Structure 1
Amino acid sequence: MQTFTVHPVGVVNGGGEGPAQLRIDPAYRDGLRGLEGFGHAVVTWWAHEVDDPELRALVDAGRPYARLDHDLGIFATRSPLRPNPLALTVIELAAVDADVGLVETPYLDAADGTPVLDLKPYTPSIDRIEHPIVPAWCAHWPESAEASADFDWPSEFRF
C-alpha cells in the first residue's frame, strides 16, 4: 500500500459549527488570488482530533442515523472517523484577503486549530447535481445547505 504526505496550507480559527476564519500560510497566500469572485468554496481539512490508528481501522459505522434499520459501512457516512480523516465542507465566502491570507465564512464544521489542506472554488457546473439519488432513510433531509440551517439535525443522529 502506498503512503502519501500532505502539507497543510493553513489553519482554522474559530469554527466548530459557527463562524470561522481560514488563516492561509504565507507560502500559499498567492493561491487565494481570484477566489474573492466566488460565493462559495470547498474546503478540504484534516480531522486531526480523530486521527488515531484505531479509528483509522474503522470500516463499520453501525447505525449512526435514527431512521436506519441496518448497519452502514464508513464510506456510506460523512463521519470524520475513517481510514484517512479527510473532511470537506462547502463554505460561503464572506471575505477573502489574499494579502494577509484570510478567508472568512459564517459557518464551518471544522474545529479551531484544524489543518486546512486545500481550497477550491465551488462551481455549479462541476459540484452541483440536479437530481441526486439518496437512500430512503435520508431522503427527507434538506436539499440544500441553506435549508439545512433550520433542520432538526440532532434528531437524526444516534450519537
Structure 2
Amino acid sequence: MTGRLRPGEVVLEGAPDPDGPRLRPIGRIRSPWGPGDCPRNIGRARETGRPARIDLDPAFAPALAGLQVGQPVILLYWMDRARRDLLVQAPRHVTEPRGTFALRSPNRPNTISQATVRITAIDPDSATIGIDAIDCFDNTPLLDIKPWLETVDLPPR
C-alpha cells in the first residue's frame, strides 16, 4: 500500500511476504467510525460515548463461556485499511519523525492493533459482545479476545 509521504518518512521497499503467517478472523468489529471520523486512540473513542459491538463468527460462540459483563478484555484486530510499508512516520502530534515501533499508529508491517475494552453485553445465542468503545473502522476483522488480568497485564513498577 502506498500513499503520499510526509517530510522525514521512510518506507519499506518491497511488499509484505504474501506467504507469511495465516490468521483467521474470529469476527468483525462493528463501530460507528469510518475514514475521516475515527478517533486516534481508545481514550478519545471513549470520550465520544459511542459504544460498539463484536459480531463473532457463530462457530466461536462456545469460546464466550466464562466472559462476563463489566469484564475488561483485550481485543486484537487487523487494521485492514492501514499502510504496511512505513518504517519511519511523521504524525502530526509529534515534533519529529519516529520509528514505527515507537508509535501506536495503525500503519505498521503487520497491522495488528490492540485495545483494552469493557464488555457491556454478551449474547451467546447471536454471538455478539457489546463493548464500551473502540478506535477502528466499522467492519474491522477481529483476530482474538483475551481477558485482561491485573496480575498479568500491569507492567512491573
TM-score, L = length of structure 1: 0.71
In 1, are the aligned partners of 2:87 and 2:99 still within 8 Å (CA)? yes
In 1, are the aligned partners of 2:69 and 2:120 still within 8 Å (CA)? no
Match of 1:49 among 75, 81, 87: 81
Q: Distance in 1 between matches of 2:69 and 2:84?
A: 37
- 2:117 alignment partner in structure 1: 91
- 2:138 alignment partner in structure 1: 112
Match of 2:53 among 11, 18, 21: 21
Q: Distance in 2 between matches of 1:112 and 1:63?
A: 23
Paired-residue identity, %: 27
In 1, are the aligned partners of 2:68 and 2:119 still within 8 Å (CA)? yes
Shift of residue 64, structure 1, vs aligned partner: 4.1
In 2, are the aligned partners of 1:46 and 1:85 still within 8 Å (CA)? yes
In 2, are the aligned partners of 1:25 and 1:101 still within 8 Å (CA)? yes
2:145 maps to a residue whose letter is: L
Q: Tell whether 2:65 aligns with 1:33.
A: yes
Per-residue CA distance 1:68-121 (angstroms, 9 max, x = gap): 3x4210000000000011110000111122222111012111211111110001
- Compared with structure 1, are the counterparts of its residues 23 and 63 closer, same or farther at alpha carbon in structure 2 (3 Å cutoff)? closer
* Structure in which a larger fraction of residues adopt helix: 1
TM-score, L = length of structure 2: 0.72
Q: Tell whether 2:55 aligns with 1:60.
A: no
Runs of at least 5 residues in structure 2 that lack an aligned partner in the other structure: 1-16, 34-44
Q: Distance in 1 between matches of 2:25 and 2:135?
A: 17
Aligned residues: 125
Q: Distance in 1 between matches of 2:22 and 2:32?
A: 25
Q: Distance in 2 between matches of 1:130 and 1:37?
A: 28
Q: Distance in 1 between matches of 2:57 and 2:109?
A: 27
Equivalences for 1:70-89 in 2 at 5 Å? Answer: 70-89=96-115
In 2, are the aligned partners of 1:22 and 1:103 still within 8 Å (CA)? yes
Shift of residue 15, structure 1, vs aligned partner: 4.1
Shift of residue 38, structure 1, vs aligned partner: 5.9
- Compared with structure 1, are the counterparts of its residues 82 and 121 closer, same or farther at alpha carbon in structure 2 (3 Å cutoff)? same
Per-residue CA distance 1:122-154 (angstroms, 9 max, x = gap): 1011112254xxxxxxxxxxxxxxxxxxxxxxx
